[in-house]
Each structure stands twice: as C-alpha cells, then as structure tokens.
Amino acid sequence: MNLFAKPPLAVVIDLDDTLYPQSTYLYGASRAVGRAGAAAGLDQVRLSRAVRRQLVAGSDRGGTIDRALAAYGIGPDLAADLIPTLVAAFTTYRPRRLPSYPGARDALAAISARYPVACLTDGNPAIQRAKLAATGLADAFATIVITDELGGRTLRKPHPEGLRQVAETLGVPPSDLVVIGDRPGKDMAVAAALGARSIRVRTGEYADAPDEPPATACAPDLAAAATLLGA
C-alpha cells in the first residue's frame, strides 16, 4: 500500500534544521555574546568561537555560556558575574534574516495550498518567534505552537502535549496528522506517541543521527517531503 494512499488531514512541520539551517542563527547569536563579552573586557572573537564550539557540541544541551566561559579560562566567581549579561545577549539576539533551505519556501507553499499546516517547535518563545519572523515563513502556517509556552522545557518534544494542542486547534485527530522534522528523538517520537505518521528530513545538525524511532518515510529535504505528500 502506498504510504500516503490515505492522505493526512493536516501537516505539522518543525522549524529548526527543517525549514532553515539553525547553524546560521547560532552563528549570529554567538557573535552577539562575543560583543557583550567585549564590553566586559573579554576578547570578542575568542569568546564567540568558544560559544560556537559549545553549540556545535550540542545546541540544546543547556549551560552553553557556562561551558564557553570555562573553556575561555574564566573562573567560577567571575563567570557568575558575567553569565546573566551574556545569556541575555544570546536570548535577545534578533536576526534580520535567516535563509531557508533551498526549495523549502516553495515546498511549504505547496504543502499549505493542499493541507492545513502547523509549526510545532521547542525553545524560548521570543527566540522561536524571532526566527520565524526572520525566515519570512510565519504566514504559511495555520497555527504555530511553541511547546515552551505550554509549560516550559518539560513539555518539549517528544512530550505529546504540543502535538495534541496542534491537533485540537486544527480540529484533526492526531492519527490523521503527518509530522515533518529532522530529529528522530523529537519529531518522529512525538508523532509515534500519538499515532501520527511522520517524514524525516535529513538536514541540519541531526542529519546523520540513527533512525530511532523510525519515521514512516524519509526524505532528503522539505521539497522531497512535499513530493511524498503529493504537494
């Protein structure tokens, strides 16, 4: 049987590393931290690089600034004084523009012309909304759910509450959703938790991560995922 012989009633799309390369945002945010550090007497370039190295090691591990300062050689007492300012520089960074992946804009338009489309994303709400604004893609979505707005970090994917909220808002049973995302441990896992189907795109930081849990289908990028959906 064809994977999508029964078309979904709606599509849910992740943001970071699915629609645009998150590395572009993180590069700009690390530079913002470097500038804030320079105002406190630190070397701007060296601090920016230290932050980027920590982000490359895992962008959602938490404690990025703490580890970057330790790698820079800052002792705990001085670090405690610097961290609030540097964290604020990171979280208030607002890019003017973020480039979407090649073909992603047209693919999103094609999908949204055929299905109601939601964005389901984790993270600081102000940061995630700034990213959406900078991509210029926000208007393509019928609804946007940022899991941290539902109850903080504990409700981030693969917790099912965000996807449940999407289904309720769109008036669609979770089993009739298709989730498109780049991270098996988050996007595919949250789909599986509610009986939705999923398409994994192999883009971004987790492109080579194991298929655990497996997706219903895999595609190299959002444009190919749109083709799978008949868009």
Q: Encode pLDDT of 36-70 as tens digits.
A: 999 999 999 999 999 999 998 876 767 899 999 99
Contacts of 91 (CB under 8 A, 6+ apart): 124, 126, 127
Are 220 and 202 in contact by the 8 Å Cβ rule? The answer is yes
Give the DSSP letter of residue 214.
Answer: P
Longest dimension (CA), the chain: 64
Tokens coding 131:
């990213």
pTM over 0.75: yes
Confidence of residue 3 (pLDDT cuts 50, 70, 90): low
Cα–Cα nearest to 103, from 32, 45, 20, 180 = 20
Are 33 and 51 in contact by the 8 Å Cβ rule? The answer is yes
Average pLDDT for residues 155-183, to the nearest whole number?
98
Confidence of residue 1 (pLDDT cuts 50, 70, 90): very low
Indicate the residue type of 159: H
Confidence of residue 4 (pLDDT cuts 50, 70, 90): low
172 pLDDT higher than 60:
yes
Q: What is the pLDDT of residue 59?
A: 65
In whole angstroms, give the CA distance from residue 104 to residue 107.
5
Q: Which CATH topology does 10-21+100-228 take?
A: Rossmann fold (3.40.50)
In 80-192, where do the E strands start and end? 117-121, 143-146, 177-181
- Scanning the structure block, which residue is given the tokens 């799309």? 13
**Percent above pLDDT 70 for the chain:** 97
The residues that bridge with 201 in the sheet, in sequence order, are 219
Q: Indicate the domain borders of the chain.
A: 10-21+100-228, 23-91
Q: What's the Cα-to-Cα distance from 54 to each of 10, 136, 150, 214, rounded to whole Å?
A: 37, 28, 28, 28
